[in-house]
Amino acid sequence: MEKALSPSSFPQGTPLDHRYQGEHPVRTLAYLLRPDRARLAGAVAVFAVRHSPLWLLPLITANIIDVVVQQRPISELWWNAAVLASMFIVNYPSAVVYSRLMSTTIRRLSTTLRSALCRRMQELSIGYHSRVSSGVLHAKVVRDVDTIEESLKQTAEVGLGAVTTMLGGLIVIGIRAPAFLPIFLVVVPAAALLIRLLRGRLRGRNETFRKEIEVLSSRVTEMTSLIHITRAHGLENTAIHRVDGQLDRVRTAGFRLDLLNGRVSSLAWNVLNALGVCCLIGAALVAYYGWLPVTAGDVVMLSTFFTTLTASTTALMGLAPTMTRGLESVRSIGEVLQAPDLESNDGKREIAGVTGAVEFRRVGFTYEGSAEPSVSDLDLAVRPGETVALVGPSGAGKSTVLNLLIGFIRPTEGAILLDGIDTAGLDLRTYRRFLSVVPQESILFAGTIRENVAYGLPDEVDEDTLRTALQAANAWEFVSRLPEGVDTLVGQHGARLSGGQRQRLAIARALIRDPRVLILDEATSALDGRSESLVQEALGRLMSGRTVFVVAHRLSTIRNADRIMVLEGGRIRESGTHDELVALGGLYQQLQPGHAA
């Protein structure tokens, strides 16, 4: 069973942590497959048995022909028939065992990779997540791992098939007609190369087709994300026209690819079989004139082997792109697994309680690559239970201060102290248990109201606690009227909730955690009348008795704050209560709505 995760047992030491240091992807794969090496060896052995008809059948056919042509004892026919029968008897069970062994190995590997990626994403800093789009990370977890899985499966199936056929075939030829071995070793690769060259043209067309599909995919994504704007402006036809144009290109590229595919496949088949016939005639001539000791059975065997060995060599060469794709995906996953941008908490002090005293000591913060600091010389001591409103023009540094408080970013100058302890030395995950953040956009995930409100709480929440939180958040009234109450599904495919209702659920989510420190990023757009007052009332309850930092837009929040900090250019320009700042007649006064600048 999975161990419950406490900060101290937070996933460390995923299988790739210690090992993956950007080495060649083949080594990464070898490392990942190590725990399954016995299983893999078993799979290879079983595969050779399962695949034996392909390289043994020509030999047995040759034996049977020789029994007939040379009038050898009939018992030899029965012996050969018995070998043939036993091959078929073991074929089915060995196929089942092979699938089982291989599938266990490959599925375990993809689960390990996906789990390592998800864990690493939870450890990477918020800075990393704001730089790397979620779509890219999503593609790594889903598509790249899928590509690795597919590439391993194909390499195993096709590669093992080709290698066992080639080895088996060459051994049989080496024993039965050794004089032909050097000829095979030269002619078979040459024939395979010829067929590969013929197919080479397909690659270019494949590439064109794939690119057109990628453009289509981005056009569709663009269309769906713009759908509100498109519909609001009556631009449906323009949007459809854009997609239609691309659909046409995909159709043309697909059609050309299919035509070429048909021509190339037929040409390759003809070349392969023509070469096979040449081999048959050549071997027949050798036997007929007695240039080498070759029986009639050998003639048939050699010509069959020529075709199967050439096909195997071609298949092996054709694996290269699949393997390259798989290795590229391993590398792409490695980029995330070795990204150094981690939030470092390991070994830092864990805290069991917070009273809520927060102090900024000459805090400065400069974003990486920025010339100017976004916050400078910030000095601020906040008592437990105090409400501090941050106001200021756009770009003043308000969000940066909130992110510093959450610990998403660390001060580049000075220190932030929590209850007198420098947060630089704290395991922030333990501190954040006493922290709630209510963002501007209330984010609900696909689940019930109960799950959304109780998200992340360690224990099951009882009905009373849930109801009290919803009541205090002014959400009970609408939740209790929903057909399934707290068990109603919300989120992407759930009940439709208004903006105000979503905000009140977000407030309930914060309330139920009973935080000591609350971080509030108020929505810039106010709701209408009743909904707005319900949200304000709920916020009032949420804020009371806690240390609150709020990026404030509502006049009521600002008026009720114990202190207002007016930021500009990353510095505190003014601070005080609403009345004091109005009396001051400075920047705060200018920021008031309706003020003529």
Ligand X SMILES: Nc1ncnc2c1ncn2[C@@H]1O[C@H](COP(=O)(O)OP(=O)(O)OP(=O)(O)O)[C@@H](O)[C@H]1O
**Chain residues that interact with ligand X, rule: CB under 6 A:** 130, 367, 370, 374, 392, 394-400
List strand residue ranges (DSSP E) for 386-526, in order. Answer: 387-391, 413-418, 421-422, 435-438, 447-448, 489-490, 517-521
Q: Side chain identity at 466, as an amino acid letter?
A: L
| Residue 248, C-beta contacts closer than 8 angstroms, at least 6 positions apart | none
Q: Which two tokens stand for residue 128?
A: 């990393």
Q: Between 499-512 and 529-543, two packed helices, what is the crossing angle to 10 degrees?
A: 10
398 vs 509, beta carbon nearer ligand X: 398
- Please tell me the distance from the alpha carbon of residue 563 to that of residue 9, in angstroms, as a whole number: 40
Nearest 5 degrees, angle CA 177-CA 179-CA 181?
A: 80
CB of residue 397 vs ligand X: minimum separation in angstroms? 4
CB of residue 368 vs ligand X: minimum separation in angstroms? 7
Query: Is there a contact between 384 and 516 (Cβ–Cβ < 8 Å)?
Result: yes
Residue with tokens 């600002």: 558
530 vs 595, beta carbon nearer ligand X: 595
CB of residue 485 vs ligand X: minimum separation in angstroms? 37
360 vs 478, beta carbon nearer ligand X: 360
CB of residue 373 vs ligand X: minimum separation in angstroms? 9
- Please tell me the distance from the alpha carbon of residue 363 to that of residue 401, in angstroms, as a whole number: 9
Query: Is there a contact between 449 and 509 (Cβ–Cβ < 8 Å)?
Result: no
CB of residue 398 vs ligand X: minimum separation in angstroms? 4
Residue with tokens 């080496």: 174
CB of residue 39 vs ligand X: minimum separation in angstroms? 46
Query: Is there a contact between 50 and 98 (Cβ–Cβ < 8 Å)?
Result: yes
How far apart, in Å, are the Cα atoms of 133 and each of 108, 221, 293, 312, 491?
A: 27, 15, 69, 42, 22
134 vs 394, beta carbon nearer ligand X: 394
Beta-bridge partner residues of 416: 360
375 vs 475, beta carbon nearer ligand X: 375
CB of residue 119 vs ligand X: minimum separation in angstroms? 24
365 vs 476, beta carbon nearer ligand X: 365
CB of residue 372 vs ligand X: minimum separation in angstroms? 7
DSSP structural state of residue 342: B
Question: In b/e form, how buried is each residue of 456-494, taking b as 16+ CB within 10 angstroms?
Answer: eeeeebeeebbbebbbbbbbbebbeebeeebebbbbeeb
77 vs 523, beta carbon nearer ligand X: 523
3 state DSSP class of 552 = coil
CB of residue 106 vs ligand X: minimum separation in angstroms? 39
3 state DSSP class of 426 = strand
What does the DSSP assignment read for 480-500?
Answer: HHSTTGGG-EESTTS----HH
Q: Side chain identity at 502, as an amino acid letter?
A: R
357 vs 438, beta carbon nearer ligand X: 438
327 vs 375, beta carbon nearer ligand X: 375
| Residue 109, C-beta contacts closer than 8 angstroms, at least 6 positions apart | 32, 33, 36, 148, 149, 152
369 vs 594, beta carbon nearer ligand X: 369
CB of residue 379 vs ligand X: minimum separation in angstroms? 18
CB of residue 409 vs ligand X: minimum separation in angstroms? 9
Query: Is there a contact between 91 and 54 (Cβ–Cβ < 8 Å)?
Result: no
CB of residue 112 vs ligand X: minimum separation in angstroms? 33
- Return phi, psi of residue 540, to 5°: -55, -45
375 vs 472, beta carbon nearer ligand X: 375
What does the DSSP assignment read for 171-183?
Answer: HHHHHH-GGGHHH
CB of residue 557 vs ligand X: minimum separation in angstroms? 15
Residue 200: count other Cβ atoms within 10 Å of its Cβ.
Answer: 10
368 vs 579, beta carbon nearer ligand X: 368
332 vs 400, beta carbon nearer ligand X: 400
Q: Which two tokens stand for residue 450?
A: 């109960």
**Spatial CA neighbour of 572 closest among 375, 417, 407, 410:** 375
Query: Is there a contact between 546 and 518 (Cβ–Cβ < 8 Å)?
Result: yes
CB of residue 591 vs ligand X: minimum separation in angstroms? 11
- Please tell me the distance from the alpha carbon of residue 305 to that of residue 165, in angstroms, as a whole number: 9
CB of residue 393 vs ligand X: minimum separation in angstroms? 7
Q: Compute the CA torsion angle 258, 263, 265, 268 (nearest 10 deg).
A: -160
Q: Between 296-337 and 145-154, two packed helices, what is the crossing angle to 10 degrees?
A: 160
